[in-house]
Amino acid sequence: MQLLNGPQAVANAARVCRINCIIGHEAVSKTAQSLKGEDYSPELLDIHGESATSAAAARTLAGQRCLIENAQELKSLALARLPVVCTAAEPKNWSLVLAPLNIQEILDDTILAYALAEKSLLPATVIIDKLSAETFESVELPPEKMIKNFLGQLKLDKVHAKFARYDLEGRAQAQKAMDIAQAEIPKISQEWKKRFRRTLEPFEAFMLEDAELAIVTFGSWSSNAKLAVQELRKQGEKVGLLRLHVLRPWPEQEIHALLQNVSRIAVVDSQISLGSWSKMYQGIKTWYAGFASNFIAKNLLTVQDFIDIARRLHAASAPERVWMI
């Protein structure tokens, strides 16, 4: 067991995965620098933006595994069907997206992101929010030999260049790759559970069986949301929580099944979509015709914040878009 924060967990995951190249200019690169030694010396590139994705693309095509810290735009990697893993403070378009709850999940998700990305040939994002970057927790590090056997070698065959299309057909192929990832998640999760007694569950349902009101959110502040639900339950309020772990591919059928009998939903999201509702809210409203309000926040939400969200949702006469500023 080691005491690590989010960026350190990512760097340790890079070490046990034997990542060849770490690209970035902030926390991960600095932490990776401290891990360099006789047994692990990855290439460190202090670049960002389009330069980072270009460097990652070149190295991945050469058969190397790459990690981009604080990635910006992943569209070119998605359309080129390159399985690069990146970290970011919020979900990124054109990639698989994992939203870990704690530091152990950050480490696990970074490793699992490579397995998913390489099965589907898409980039993957692991969300490292501000709380995770500053919180230290005891983390179990998997043995390097077991991770080597779990991941195997990165394989991009000679026909891989045929995937690199930037037209509508390329976008359609990327969507099919998301469907492949959806099918692979249970398989990878079971293999991970067999080896390490932990799983990659797309979501966590908490006290939803008889809930009349549900909070839907993701990331590290879900811990405070769970405490808020417990407090509200003590007060006799039928409130539940759906914590999403996999944001893309979007687990639509599972979400529908869990929330179809809930009368009101509070979608708590950080993905701002100017002129509209948040991205997660839009995903839920594609099928949910009931009463749902959207709470948009960028900073850490406390237990009291989630209690206030639940009570505001209960008292509202019409769905709201609420900015938690």
Q: In the numeric block, which tokens belong to residue 111?
A: 């490793």
Least-confidence region, from 29-38, 127-136, 285-294, 297-306: 29-38
Please give the Cα distance from 83 to 114 (Å, whole number): 7
Least-confidence region, from 27-41, 67-81, 142-156, 206-220: 27-41
CA 260 vs CA 7, 150, 155, 210, 263: distances in Å = 37, 37, 41, 12, 8
Count the alpha carbons within 13 Å of 301 in the hemisphere toward its beta carbon.
31
Q: In the numeric block, which tokens belong to residue 31?
A: 């932490």
Of all residues in the chain, the percent with pLDDT exceeding 70 is 97
CA nearest to 76, candidates 142, 40, 108, 122:
122
Of 166 and 312, the one with more pLDDT = 312
CA 323 vs CA 221, 223, 293, 297: distances in Å = 16, 21, 11, 6
**Residue 276: what pLDDT?**
81
**Residue 15: what pLDDT?**
93
Q: Which helix (H) or strand (E) holds 172?
A: helix 168-196
CA nearest to 91, candidates 317, 198, 247, 204:
247
Least-confidence region, from 157-161, 229-233, 262-266: 157-161
Of 275 and 19, the one with more pLDDT = 19
Q: Which fold has domain 203-324?
A: Rossmann fold (3.40.50)
Domains 2-196 and 203-324 share a fold: yes
Per-residue pLDDT reduced to its tens digit, 53-87: 999 999 999 999 999 998 888 999 999 999 999 99
**Residue 274: what pLDDT?**
79
**Residue 28: what pLDDT?**
76
pTM of the entire predicted model: 0.94
Residues with Cβ within 8 Å of residue 257, at least 6 apart in sequence:
none
What average pLDDT does the segment 170-174 reach? 90
Would you list the domain boundaries of the chain? 2-196, 203-324
Per-residue pLDDT reduced to its tens digit, 177-209: 999 999 999 999 999 999 999 989 999 999 999
What average pLDDT does the segment 207-221 reach? 96
**Residue 27: what pLDDT?**
65
Please give the Cα distance from 244 to 217 (Å, whole number): 6
CA 142 vs CA 103, 168, 198, 211: distances in Å = 14, 41, 11, 37
Q: Is the Cβ–Cβ distance between 288 and 262 less than 8 Å? A: no
**Residue 256: what pLDDT?**
92
Q: Is the per-residue pLDDT at 169 higher than 90?
A: no
Please give the Cα distance from 148 to 160 (Å, whole number): 23
Q: In the numeric block, which tokens belong to residue 86?
A: 């990146």
- What sections of 62-137 are H helices per DSSP? 75-79, 103-120, 130-134
* Per-residue pLDDT band at 155 (split at 50, 70, 90): confident
Q: Which helix (H) or strand (E) holds 297?
A: strand 291-297
Assign 97 to helix, strand or coil. strand
CATH top class, domain 2-196:
alpha beta
Residues with Cβ within 8 Å of residue 163, at least 6 apart in sequence:
80, 81, 121, 170, 173
**Residue 161: what pLDDT?**
61
**Residue 214: what pLDDT?**
98
Q: In the numeric block, which tokens belong to residue 319?
A: 């769905």
**Residue 158: what pLDDT?**
62
User: Could you tell me the end-to-end alpha-carbon distance of the chain, in angstroms, rounded to an integer?
Assistant: 37
